[in-house]
C-alpha cells in the first residue's frame, strides 16, 4: 500500500499523471490448527500460520479471549502464531 500515490511521466514539454491505488490482500490461514490429544499435566502446543508477517491474531477458547499468563503463553514469529498451554487439566479441553 505504500506504493499508492500519483505517478507522473514528464517529457519536458508535457506531463501525464495517473493515480495508483494498491488494495491490501486479505490475510488467510496458510497452515490451520489441528486437533490434539495430550495427557493431563502435559503441555499443548497449538500453531497456525497466516499469509502475512506481523499480523496480530487473537486466541480464544470458545468465545473467551486467551491472554498470556502462567497457564498460557502466546508467541509470534513472523507468520507463525503459537499458543502453549501448560500443566493441562480437564478444564482446558
Domain ranges of the chain: 29-85
Residue 90 has pLDDT above 90, yes or no: yes
pLDDT value, residue 1: 80
pLDDT digits (tens, 9 = 90+) for 27-40: 999 999 999 999 99
pLDDT value, residue 2: 87
d(CA 83, CA 59): 8
One of 2.60.40.10, 1.10.579.10, 3.30.413.10, 1.10.10.1100 is the CATH number of 29-85, namely 2.60.40.10
pTM: 0.77
pLDDT digits (tens, 9 = 90+) for 64-78: 999 999 999 999 999
- For residue 6, give the C-alpha cell: 500519483
Residue 7 has pLDDT above 90, yes or no: yes
Name the nearest CA neighbour of 28 among 66, 55, 63, 1.
55
Amino acid at each position: 500500500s505504500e506504493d499508492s500515490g500519483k505517478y507522473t511521466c514528464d517529457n519536458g514539454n508535457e506531463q501525464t499523471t495517473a493515480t495508483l491505488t494498491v488494495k491490501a490482500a486479505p490475510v488467510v490461514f496458510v497452515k490451520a490448527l489441528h486437533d490434539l490429544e495430550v495427557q493431563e499435566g502435559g503441555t499443548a502446543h497449538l500453531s497456525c500460520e497466516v499469509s502475512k508477517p506481523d499480523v496480530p491474531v487473537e486466541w480464544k477458547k470458545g468465545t473467551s479471549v486467551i491472554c498470556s499468563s502462567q497457564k498460557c503463553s502466546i508467541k509470534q514469529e513472523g507468520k507463525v502464531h503459537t499458543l502453549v498451554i501448560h500443566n493441562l487439566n480437564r478444564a482446558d479441553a
